[in-house]
Each structure stands twice: as structure tokens, then as C-alpha cells.
Amino acid sequence: MGQIVIDPNKCKACYLCVNECPKGLIKVGEKLNISGERVVEFDDSSGKCIGCAMCAVRCPDLAITEVYR
């Protein structure tokens, strides 16, 4: 099991992580960050995050931090 934290103000809205997550847990959200970018959100309501860190590795802006639980 894993969990991630996304720093919205580091996110540049490239959406690479959206396609990278094998469980489809990262989605384009409704909120804008301080740069006016529509940032991504992590939806862990299904509890399916496997802590693979593929999203964090893929993010070119180091906006995703993985937190194990």
C-alpha cells in the first residue's frame, strides 16, 4: 500500500502522471495553482495505490512525493 502527496504549486499540468499510474488514481482536477495551471489530484478513495512510485518518477517537476503507510 502506498500514498502520494502532490504539491500543486510545483505541478506544471503536463499530465504525464495521469497516464503513468497503473491504477488510474491521478486525475485532472478542477483547482488552479498559483500559476493558473489546472493541477492534478490524487484520488485514494479506492485504496488501490500500490506504492509503485511510477507517478513520482515520471513527474519532471518533482511535484509528487510518495508516502508509505
Does position 51 interact with ligand SF4 (CB under 6 A)? The reply is yes
Taking a C-beta distance cutoff of 8 angstroms, is the pair 53, 26 a contact?
no
Is residue 33 involved in binding ligand SF4 (CB under 6 A)?
Answer: no
- Single-letter residue type at 42: F
Q: Name which position in 4, 32, 35, 46 contacts ligand SF4 (CB under 6 A).
A: 4
CA angle 9, 1, 67 (to 5 degrees): 35
Q: Which residues contact 62 (CB under 8 A, 6 or more apart)?
A: 10
Establish if 65 lies at the interface with ligand SF4 (CB under 6 A): no
Q: Using CB under 6 A, list all residues that contact ligand SF4.
A: 2, 4, 6, 11-17, 20-21, 23, 25-26, 40, 49-55, 58-59, 61, 63-64, 66
